[in-house]
Amino acid sequence: MPLSAAATLAREVIAPCPRNTPALTRAEAETLLAQIPNWTLSADGTMLMRSCVLPDFANAYALVERIAALAEAADHHPDIAFGWGYVRLTLQTHSIGGLHRNDFIMAARIETLPH
């Protein structure tokens, strides 16, 4: 069975991103965004965002723990806000002030986790 676009993206390597790397253009970001349909772009196109609704605080916390472990292993960390029944994620490559392919790879990897 062929892999989904998100699963294929999730298998890519998260590579080091030097500070002089240009951020993705909005058009480039929108092309990659099509592979991770649960995510949206910020209005200015510099961040990926996703909200998850969960049944309670314990499930939200458990998802945050799974995301944190994944992020540590990849050395690519989302900003995470959570509380009773929700998790909000934001991805951006801060060193370049915008989005890099790594952000989309990390988003795709997060999508592989049970929500």
Full residue range of the structural domain in which residue 50 is found: 5-10+24-111
Q: Where are the alpha helices (DSSP H) in the chain?
A: 5-10, 26-33, 57-74, 101-111
Q: What pLDDT score was predicted for residue 2?
A: 61
- Residue 88 included in any domain: yes
- Residue 19 included in any domain: no
Please classify residue 82 by burial: count the beta carbons closer than 10 Å to its beta carbon, then call 0-12 exposed, 13-18 middle and 19+ buried: middle
Task: Output the domain CATH number for residue 70.
Answer: 3.30.1360.20
Please tell me the distance from the alpha carbon of residue 100 to that of residue 25, in angstroms, as a whole number. Answer: 9
The identity of residue 24, as a single letter, is: L
- Residue 94 included in any domain: yes
| Tens place of pLDDT per residue across the chain (115 aa) | 566 888 899 999 999 888 899 999 999 999 999 999 999 999 999 999 999 999 999 999 999 999 999 999 999 999 999 999 999 999 999 999 999 999 999 999 999 998 8
From residue 43, alpha-carbon distances to 15, 48, 76, 94, 108 in Å are 26, 10, 22, 17, 21
- Residue 107 included in any domain: yes
Domains held by the chain: number? 1
Q: What pLDDT score was predicted for residue 44?
A: 95
- In this prediction the pTM is 0.94
